[in-house]
Structures are given as structure tokens and as C-alpha cells.
Amino acid sequence: MPITDMLTRNARDFASETALVEINLDLQDKHHVIWSEYELIENNPAGEYRREMSWQVFNEKANRFAHLLLKRGIKRGDKVAILMMNSLEWLPVYFGILKAGAVAVPLNYRYSEEEIRYCLNLSDSCALIFGPEFTSRLEDIYQNLDQIRLLLFCGEDRPCFAESYDRLVGNCPSSDPDIPITDDDLGAIYFSSGTTGFPKAILHKHRMLTQAAEMEQKHHKQEHDDIFLLMPPLYHTGAKMHWFGSLISGSKAIILRGVKPDWILRTISEEKATIVWLLVPWAQDILDYIEKNPEEVSGYEFSQWRLMHIGAQPVPPSLIKRWQEYFPGQQYDTNYGLSETGGPGCVHLGIENIHKVGAIGKAGYRWKTKIVDDNGVEVKKGDIGELALFGPGVMMEYFRNKKATEETLKDGWLLSGDMAREDEDGFIYLVDRKKDVIITGGENLYPVEIEAFLRRHPAIRDVAVIGLPDDRLGEIAAAVVSVKHDMYLDEIELEEFAKGLPRYKRPRRYIFDEVPRNPTGKIEKPLLRKRYGVLRLVEEQTER
């Protein structure tokens, strides 16, 4: 069943029930009001800016947008891009594109003007809908977007160069457009992180979207009374594919605009969230906040919170051990995935395997895995190689990039670019990104292993280990360390702490700075290598 049919079914079976709630704690209103879909309701008990949408209204909005696209000449297979922050409008826009038979092209909200233009051109997008946060960026480039036939603005203060989404969809029918959708139809284009240059366009069929939904519900057992708290950006496969479990079960989801730890905890308590997906830094921030504000947190209600799961990066076992001290008995899962595999879940730990924390798990629902050497030959169990993945969520191709497609897809298997090993029980452990391996004096260093060790230090909030050029050793390991705000740490103490590592694995340099992460929680190591590699060259030239 295509995910568009799942939405139609929910609108029929759960018409008046809440599908989505948007909460923005930056917009607290002194009059204690809540905006519903069509009217202002007094006496909002939470006292914050909070909007709701039923399954019926969700489906009607998607239908209206589909009719608008069809009316404006968008046809099956055409690409329609989305450049919006998380909001109540995001998912109905996405589903409206799919219901029109078009291909959804979500764009990273951090893209610069040049990256926006590049991705629109690469994806062959002929329409774009954007929010008010992006008006100034598009103002500089809209005249050079020759392929864009329809430019829609969603929000207030419409710029003169775009048409109003709200006004136009209001005049469109709310009935289903009745465009037949199959698993083999093109569904979406997602973009690679782009941290090593301009991003690649990842083309997926509807089969991937259906697989992601069924897999999420299978892994985390969403039921109709579950409430999912969603915070990561919807343009990325991670947040949306986890929400697909709510789509299958017809259950409520909360879109929280912001990731402050007190906001997260308040929302979980007030909205009675049962499932929360976090990134490692957010989980650390939550624990730090609980420790500093025990009286405030004691008034919150967490008994209904049954599952916390994490993805996007290796999870330090020490973090989960600390988490269980505050949330004993809570279910936990780790999810691994790539945009090329339709997001998280192609490998997952499983809520029954918390004793294997540190592993990313085993092959997910309908997936197969193997670990191979540079020649594509499967390595012995316990040896390090590249993780390869096979399943119904594998991308169709890198759109308009035959060379990269051929390098990544081998006989239906997708080479992940992640180095991994498998233990005697069949659980897979990430070692590092293939491109991030540091070769120092002929030895391979895997930064993830060093990072996991350093994170045990109580004063470290975040850490990234990168390779820097060295005349003698080729490369040396450098640790970029972010210290907790109320604590002190210096290089001498770190060097003493690192003696718990074999000598060749110890960082040769420590840099105290913030660790940059992209919106999906991944450390931007190419940025760090560029920043500190250049600084090192400057230092050497100054010394000379």
C-alpha cells in the first residue's frame, strides 16, 4: 500500500482524531490561546503557541495541494521542491506532491543561495514551495531559476516574486485527485549531506517510502494510542521515516520546533509522548539538565514514555548506562541508516537487545547485510571491512550521476562507506567512515573508537577526532573537544586521561572548540579538517 493510501485510510478511520500537533515555545502568548486549523480557541491550558490538525484536515490539505499542482501543469514524474522549516504545513505539502504523482524534493534549510540553485537544477525541479525564513535567499536567485515554473510562498508577508500557497489551495477541491500510485513510481529525491562538496541527488521509488513505514512500525511497534515526539528536520529521511510509524498506526505526533532540553522534557510531560527519537548531543543535554534542575523535573510526568531511540551516529555505551539511571526500564533502540537506504532502520539494535549497546545491531526488517573488503569479498567475522546493504529501500540511483551510482551500487548491494565489524553473535559495530580513517605511521586509527573513550571523561560534552597532516607520520590524530559549560578541562588532564588508550591511539593534539554538527546530528569532520588543517599550516609557516 503506497503511503498516500495510508493517509487516505487514516482520514476515513480516524477523521476527527488529532494527527499532528505543532508546538513553538518561542511564541508563548500572554492570552493563553491555541490556534486550531480554522479558528482561535481561548484558554489553552499549556499557555503556548500550539496548533493541531486532524487526520481529515491533513488529508484534505494534501488533496487541495495535489489539485493545485495538477491545475498548474505539474504532471506525473515532475519534481517539486520543498524549502520549509518544520511546521504543521510541511507534511500535507509533501503528501500533496505525492498524491499528484509528482516527485517530492525536500531541501536542507541550511543551504546557501548557491546550494539551493544547484540542487534545484540537479534535481530538475520545476516547482518550489518555500517558507518565510528563506525569502531573502530566494530573492537573490529567483530570476536565475529558469526551470522553475511555479514558485509558491507558504506564510505571511508574501514576497512579490512568489504566489500565495494559502490563497491558491483554498480554492482547490478537497477530494482525492485519484492519481494511481504504485511502488514502481518515482517518489522522492533526497540529498546527501554534501560535506565533501555539493550534495548528490538520491532518487527513490515509492517502494522505499512504503518499506520505511512498514519497517518503522515493525521495529518499534507503534499502536494507535502512541504519541511520537518529532524534532529533527523533516527535509531529512530520519525524522520523516520514523514518523511513518505513526502514519501506519494512525497515531498522534508532536512537532516541537526547538531542541532545548527543558522544552523537550516539558513537551514529553504535557503532551504525554510515548516515543522520542533523539540525537546523542540532545540526550546528553537532557541528562545534564535533569542533574542541574532536579526540582523542576520532579514535577514532570514520564511514566507513559516507553521508548527512546537514537540514530545518526555511534552511541557511547556510557551515555545509555547514565540514561538508564534516570529512566530505568525504558525501552531503547539504536537505528542506523543512510539517505541512500531510505533513512534509519536498515540496521537496528532492537528493543530486546539493550545488552548489546554500542552495536548498531543486525539487519532490519527485510534487509540483508555483509561486510566486505576493497574487492567486494566478504571478510571473516570480527575483521573490519565496509558495510554493504541489500533491501527494498536501496536507492534507484544518484540522479544524473552515473559514475557515483556505479561506484556505490554493486549487483544490487549498496556500499555504505562505513567501516564496520561483526561480533560472534552477529551484531554489527561501526568502526568509522571509510574516508575518516586516520593512517598514522602505517597504523589505521578509527576516530569513533577514540571518541567513545574520550567521552567517558565527565567534563567532555562532545568530541570529534580528525586526522591532520604530519611530515613524519603522514597523519596524526587530533581531538576537538567541547567542554561542559560549568566545568574546566585542560590539555594536561586530557593527556593523563588518554593513557587508558594504547599509545598509538592517543591524540597528539587537543583543540578546545565547539564540535560542529549538521541538522541530523552528524559531526562535520570535513569542515574541521579544513579549519584546523589550514591553521596548522599557518602555524608552521609562522614558526619558520
518 by Cβ neighbours in 10 Å (0-12 / 13-18 / 19+) ranks as: middle
Regarding whether 424 and 314 lie in a shared domain, the answer is yes
Residue with grid cell 499532528, as numbered in its chain = 20
Distance (Å, whole) CA 299 – CA 266: 10
Tens digits of residue pLDDT in 460-475: 989 999 888 876 677 8
Nearest to 275 by CA among 223, 324, 322, 200: 223
Q: Report yes or no: 199 and 191 within 8 Å, Cβ to Cβ.
A: yes
Distance (Å, whole) CA 404 – CA 392: 20
Instruction: Give a yes or no: residue 166 inside a domain.
Output: yes
Q: What is the CATH number of the domain that holds 212?
A: 3.40.50.12780
Distance (Å, whole) CA 343 – CA 208: 9
Instruction: Give a yes or no: residue 271 inside a domain.
Output: no
Q: What percent of the chain has pLDDT over 70?
A: 91
φ, ψ of residue 444 in degrees (nearest 5):
-85, 125
Is residue 36's pLDDT more than 80?
Answer: no
**DSSP string over 245-267:** HHHHHT-EEEEES---HHHHHHH
pLDDT at 34: 37
Q: How far is CA 323 from the centre of its chain?
A: 21
Which one of 168, 199, 217 terminates a domain?
217
pLDDT tier for residue 45 given thresholds of 50, 70 and 90: very low
Distance (Å, whole) CA 246 – CA 429: 29
Task: Answer with the residue of higher pLDDT: 538 or 161.
Answer: 161
pLDDT tier for residue 279 given thresholds of 50, 70 and 90: confident
Lowest mean pLDDT across 72-86, 182-196, 332-346, 417-431: 182-196
Q: What's the domain range around 402?
A: 306-433
Residue with grid cell 520546533, as numbered in its chain = 257
Q: What is the mean pLDDT of the chain?
A: 89
Tens digits of residue pLDDT in 192-219: 865 446 789 999 999 999 999 999 999 9
Tens digits of residue pLDDT in 366-378: 999 999 999 999 9
pLDDT at 444: 74
Is residue 37's pLDDT more than 50?
Answer: no
| SS3 at position 469 | strand
Distance (Å, whole) CA 148 – CA 124: 9
| Whether this model's pTM surpasses 0.85 | no
Is residue 331's pLDDT more than 90?
Answer: yes
Q: What is the CATH number of the domain that holds 326?
A: 2.30.38.10
Regarding whether 456 and 383 lie in a shared domain, the answer is no
Q: How far is CA 325 from CA 280, 321, 334, 356, in A?
A: 16, 7, 18, 17
pLDDT at 42: 36
Regarding whether 57 and 206 lie in a shared domain, the answer is yes
Regarding whether 520 and 373 lie in a shared domain, the answer is no
Lowest mean pLDDT across 62-76, 230-244, 389-403: 230-244
Dig out the grid coordinates for 284 from the structure: 546528553
Average of per-residue pLDDT across 110-121: 91
Is residue 402's pLDDT more than 80?
Answer: yes
Regarding whether 13 and 131 lie in a shared domain, the answer is yes
pLDDT at 447: 85
pLDDT at 235: 93
Which one of 199, 217, 235 terminates a domain?
217
Q: Rounded to a whole number, what is the distance in angstroms from the first to the last CA of the chain?
A: 67
How many domains does the chain divide into? Answer: 3
Is residue 544's pLDDT more than 70?
Answer: no
Instruction: Give a yes or no: residue 231 inside a domain.
Output: no
φ, ψ of residue 247 in degrees (nearest 5):
-60, -45
Amino acid at 41: I
Is residue 30's pLDDT more than 60?
Answer: no
**DSSP string over 114-161:** HHHHHHHHHHTEEEEEE-GGGHHHHHTTGGG-TT--EEEE-SSS--TT
